[in-house]
Homo-oligomer: A and B are copies of this chain.
Amino acid sequence: MDETPGPATPLPGLGAPIRAGIPEHGRVPKYYAVKGQLEALLDELGEGGVLPTERDLAARFEVARETLRQALRDLLIQGRVRRRGRSTVVAGPKLEQPLSLASYTEGVRRQGRVPGRNLIGLERSAADPLLAGQLAIGVGEQVWHLERVLLADGERVGLESTYLAVARVPELDREFDPGSSFYAFLTEKAGVELGGADERIETVLASPREALLIGTPPALPMLLLHRLTRDAAGVPLERVRSLYRGDRFGFTTRLEAD
């Protein structure tokens, strides 16, 4: 609520009815008050600073351990703090990735971080009707499924799952280095020219398997990007599901008037 600068001036034209029926603040829960105190402490400590133990913090703020834990959980989910071994440290700012056709690799590099990927699997299978429709291929045609954990400065931050027709890149398993940029491979080695994509952004919870692969607590909200990419001729190229840690990532975009 630190968004309201200075005292509010009541408006003669808009009297009592403004807030009618909607309590302005309600009761502020205790954990939320503690969270505010913790945030001030985080600012003091600065990025990388180590927090005192839960017991010390509970004593300092004169609250129950459970109340303190709830406040810390919120800060963890928001990405204000993170675990490092047994300690809790002040986290750095979220990574801000532009929404663009550019690859993950390029976006992370632009922010001065080192991108990386760990291969989970590269397998071929037969396209089901949904996927075949999305890729404009026949049902049962062979598709690649490439799944990789995304890294920034060596830390696991996301999970990317890509489907595309084997006919597009028959030698993917032999020619592609799964630790490198897939879009760089497509455009530089496979001769594919990217045209555009339709993307959908949501917030979801990670499944237990996804949480395990990314190494996050299971209740952490994630940003899910679902993308259908076309080549320069407008022909469907790939379907991608990218899951990013909500505590480590945000996306930016520039909107223009029509």
Contacts and interface: CB of A to CB of B under 8 A. Distances in A.
A74 B32 CA distance: 23
Nearest to A122: B14
A8 interface: yes
Contact of A125 (B4, B122, B163): B4
Nearest to A245: B203
Interface string A16-38: 00110011111011001000000
A222 to B, nearest CB: 7
B18 A207 contact: no
Interface string A236-258: 00000100001001111111111
A195 interface: yes
Contacts of A19: 120-121
A109 to B, nearest CB: 16
A203 B200 contact: no
A194 B257 contact: yes
Nearest to A100: B255
A155 interface: no
Nearest to A13: B173
A198 B252 contact: yes
Given A173-B14, A203-B221, A205-B78, A123 B253 contact: no
Contacts of A250: 200-202
A43 interface: no
Interface in A194-229: 194-205, 207-209, 212-213, 221-223
A180 to B, nearest CB: 15
A68 interface: no
Contact of A26 (B8, B125, B200, B209): B209
Interface in A14-72: 14, 18-19, 22-26, 28-29, 32
Given A9-B123, A18-B119, A209-B26, A3 B199 contact: no
A196 to B, nearest CB: 5
Interface of A: 1, 3-11, 13-14, 18-19, 22-26, 28-29, 32, 74, 77-78, 94, 96, 99-101, 118-128, 131, 143, 145, 149, 161, 163, 173-174, 193-205, 207-209, 212-213, 221-223, 232, 241, 246, 249-258
15 contacts: A3-B241, A6-B128, A10-B123, A11-B122, A13-B173, A13-B174, A18-B119, A18-B122, A19-B120, A22-B118, A96-B200, A99-B99, A196-B256, A201-B250, A203-B203
